[in-house]
Amino acid sequence: MEYFIFSGNSNTVLTQEIGRQLGKELGKVEIVRFADSECRVRILEDVEDKDVFVVQSLFNPVDEHLMELLLLGDAAKRGEARRLIAVLPYHGYARQDRVHREGECLSAHVVAKLIESVGFDKLITVELHNETILGFFEIPVVHISGLSVFLPQVEKIKNEAVVITPDAGALKRSQKFAESLDIPLALIEKKRDLDKPHKIISMKVVGEVKDKIAIIVDDVIVTGGTLVNAAHLLKQKGAKQVIAAATHADFVGGADKILQDSPLDKIWVTDTIPVPEERRFPKLQIFPIAASLVSGVKKMIK
C-alpha cells in the first residue's frame, strides 16, 4: 500500500528519523505563517487513495502545533487520502483529562474531538498522561509505551532499584513498569494547589527507599518541580541515587538549570519533544523513540 508521511513543524528531526527507518522520504508540504500568525498548509503530493501519516508533537507552543496538525489533516482529507493517521509523539493537553474544579473545561476531550472532526481515522501516540483519554476517542488509538526505551538501562541496576511513582495519578504507569522488571515500588503523595498552576503544596514518601537507587517514573517534565521536590525527599529518606525517567521533556523556563542543580543524579527522557542543544545539560540523557513509532506505523502499512 502506497503511503505518505508528512511532518508538522514541531519535531521534523524525529519525523525524518522515522522516514529514514522506514526507507521513505517525507512528503512535501508547505506551511506558511501569515503576519497575523494565522497558518496556511498545502500538501504538495497526490495523496488520493493513499494512506497519510501526519507526525506532529503537541508541545509548547501547543496551540500552534495543534492547529498545524488539524490543517494538515484537512488538506490530506481534501486530497482524498484513503486513511488518515495522526502520529503524536507527545499528546498535548493530556494532563487536562478531567474536570478538577467546578466550571472547568475538559480540554483533553476537546482536543480528541478536534482531531476526529477533521477526519483522522486513527491515532498513534506515546505515553499518555492517563489512559482515560483513550475513552475520549471514537477512532482507534495505538498507545505506545515511552518508558520501554529505558528498560535496558534499568535492567543493569534492577537489583538495587526501587521504582517511585511521583503522584497518585501516575500509579498505574509506575506499577506496570515496576512489575515488568520485578522491582519494588514506593509512592510519593503529592498535593498541588489547584489555584496556582505548577505549585506543589506537600509531598510524602510511602515505602522503603533507603540505600536504594530510586527511579522516579513520570510521563512529562515541565518546570521540573515534581521531580526536584521528589529527589530532595528521596535523598532525605536515604536513597543513594535518584534517577528520573520521564518520556516527554517539555521543558519550560529554567527547567534545565533547575534539574542540573538538583539532587537528581540522572534525568532520562526520550526525543518525543526535541531538546535544543543549548538546553541540554550534563545529567540529561536522551533516548530515541523513533523505532517504537516505526513499529506502530509498520503495523498499518503491512
Residues lying near ligand R5P in the complex (CB under 6 A): 95, 129, 166-167, 169-170, 198, 218-226
Question: Which is closer to ligand R5P, CB of 49 or CB of 261?
Answer: 261
Question: Which is closer to ligand R5P, CB of 207 or CB of 225?
Answer: 225
Q: Which residues pair with 220 in a beta bridge?
A: 248
Reading phi first (left if > 0) and then psi (alpha if -120 to 50, else beta), residue 81 is in beta
Exactly one of 50, 122, 190, 212 is catalytic; which is it? 190
Question: Which is closer to ligand R5P, CB of 223 or CB of 270?
Answer: 223
Angle between helices 107-117 and 62-78 (to 10 degrees): 20
Cα separations (Å) of 210 from 2, 98, 161, 176? 55, 35, 10, 22
Q: Which residues, including other chains, have CB under 8 Å from residue 297's CB and lie 6 or more apart?
A: 5, 18, 22, 53, 85, 87, 124
Give 35-42 contacts, CB < 8 A, sequence gap 24+: 39/64, 39/67, 39/68, 39/71, 40/71, 41/68, 41/71, 41/72, 41/74, 41/75, 42/75
Question: Which is closer to ligand R5P, CB of 52 or CB of 186?
Answer: 186
Q: How far is the CB of 246 from ligand R5P (least distance, A)?
A: 8
Q: Is 190 a catalytic residue?
A: yes
* Residue that has been written with the C-alpha cell 537489583 in this structure: 159
Q: How far is the CB of 249 from ligand R5P (least distance, A)?
A: 10
Q: How far is the CB of 83 from ligand R5P (least distance, A)?
A: 32
What would the grid cell of residue 123 be?
Answer: 491515532
Q: 159, 166, 124: which is closest to 145 by C-alpha?
A: 124
Q: How far is the CB of 56 from ligand R5P (least distance, A)?
A: 20
Question: Which is closer to ligand R5P, CB of 43 or CB of 258?
Answer: 258
Task: Give the separation between CA 139 and CA 70, rounded to whole angstroms.
Answer: 15
Question: Which is closer to ligand R5P, CB of 43 or CB of 170?
Answer: 170
Q: How far is the CB of 37 from ligand R5P (least distance, A)?
A: 26
Q: How far is the CB of 230 from ligand R5P (least distance, A)?
A: 9
Give the catalytic positions in this structure.
Answer: 190
